[in-house]
Amino acid sequence: MDLHIAASIVPLLGWAVHGGILTRRLACARRDPLTGLHTRAGWAARAEHLIRRHPDAAVLLVDLDHFKNLNDTYGHAAGDAALAATADRLRAWCGHNGTAGRLGGDEFVAVIRDLAAADLEALAAALHQPLPYDGTLLPLAASVGVCRVAELAVPLLTDALTAADAAMYAAKGRTRRGSRTTR
């Protein structure tokens, strides 16, 4: 092989390897390591796409109720198990109808293509199902706020999240344990 050709190929190979590493790091940064759900940035990109394409889309905000108490009573490993289980339940509920993410702490978010096709009661029941953990059942409860994007004057994700957040806090205020859902 000619020395000039080899000298040209080596830097290109280096850049290709470097690009592959950066691509993998970016993909990892868009996934929450504990739950495997999209992080805020990764979820937001998908959510905006779904909102633009599906006029019947809805944004949901999910907050675990009494999560600090669960951590303080059963330990942080139990809290992590509760977060992972919540993520699995939300991901399963979304299925092919939407996508879920973890905003941080005990807050989760989802966007679904068609609220009419979604069974919100099934989601609420799943999120309130106790979690078997280390020989005991962890009590899980969540408050869910829902925003129908079609009800917004301008279908923006930020406005949908604000409305879903307000609905979620209204659900939290209704009962001591948290309400199933508020639309």
In the set 32, 106, 114, 134, the catalytic residue is 106
Distance from C-alpha of 180 to C-alpha of 55, rounded to nearest angstrom: 25
Whether 106 sits among the annotated catalytic residues: the reply is yes
3-state SS, one letter per residue, for 9-53: HHHHHHHHHHHHHHHHHHHHHCECCCCCCECHHHHHHHHHHHHHH
Measuring CA to CA, which residue among 111, 148, 142 is closest to residue 126?
A: 142
Q: Which strands sit side by side in the sheet containing 98-104, from one edge to the other? A: 98-104, 107-112, 58-64, 142-148
As beta bridge partners, residue 143 has 63
Distance from C-alpha of 71 to C-alpha of 146, rounded to nearest angstrom: 27
Catalytic residues: 106
